[in-house]
Amino acid sequence: MVIETERLMLREMTVDDFHDLYMVLSNSDTMQHYPYAFDENRVKDWIERNINRYRVLGFGLWAVCLKKTGELIGDCGLTMQLINGEIKPEIGYHIRADKQRKGYAKEAAIAVRDWTFNNTPFNIVYSFMKYTNEASAKTAMSYGCKQVDEFSDETNVITKVFAISKDEWIKR
């Protein structure tokens, strides 16, 4: 499965992506709003979990690569997440620190949103994040989401939830 945008290619992760994903997920700046930066074992588990998701669900987080060079700069995709007590489809993204603020997360998230509404039965997709993660909130809004919930939890203290429905997407 491959999704192409103007500048990006989203594809299934493989075990060969370990080094490049480690550069993204182990970076404390990139992961500052996540509960932790990843160590080597967590990155290996991350890859295996997504490979399993592709097999079982037909989707997961995909490797985000620059089209011109093939360089892996992050991940973005659709996963099923526990959001305020309910399992919901969520678009998540992590972009390597030196590639942030260039519109790559927005471009990848738009592609995932469009893929989701064209290829799954979901009528709404979500993105959720720690309340201090303004960049992620801006990315969610940039692909059409609006804030629909906010709740207290142990992980994030306060979690913000953004969403866009299929109907809203169609009207765009």
For 111, the token pair is 């592609």
Question: Given this model, what pLDDT does residue 153 score?
Answer: 86
| Between residues 37 and 120, the one the model is more confident about | 120
Cβ atoms of 123 and 166 within 8 Å: the answer is yes
Q: Which pLDDT tens digit goes with each residue over 105-163?
A: 999 999 999 999 999 999 999 999 999 999 999 999 999 999 999 999 887 789 999 99
pLDDT reading at 12 higher than 90: yes
Q: Of 14-23, 46-55, 143-152, 154-163, where does mean pLDDT reach its minimum?
A: 154-163
- Could you give phi then psi for residue 82, rounded to 5 degrees? -80, 110
Would you kindly state where each structural domain of the chain is located, as residue ranges?
2-171
Residue (of 143, 16, 7, 133) closest to 65 by Cα position: 7
For residue 33, the model assigns a pLDDT of: 78
Closest CA to 23 of 112, 99, 78: 99
128, 162 Cβ separation under 8 angstroms:
yes
Confidence band for 92, pLDDT divided at 50, 70 and 90: very high
> The domain 2-171 is classified under which CATH number: 1.10.1060.10, 2.40.270.10, 3.40.630.30, 3.40.50.300?
3.40.630.30
Confidence category of residue 29, pLDDT binned at 50, 70, 90: confident
Q: Where are the beta strands (DSSP E) in the chain?
A: 2-4, 8-11, 61-66, 72-83, 86-95, 124-130, 146-153, 157-165
Which CA distances in Å does 40 have to 17, 65, 77? 12, 21, 21
Quick: pLDDT tens for 63-84.
Answer: 999 999 999 999 999 999 999 9
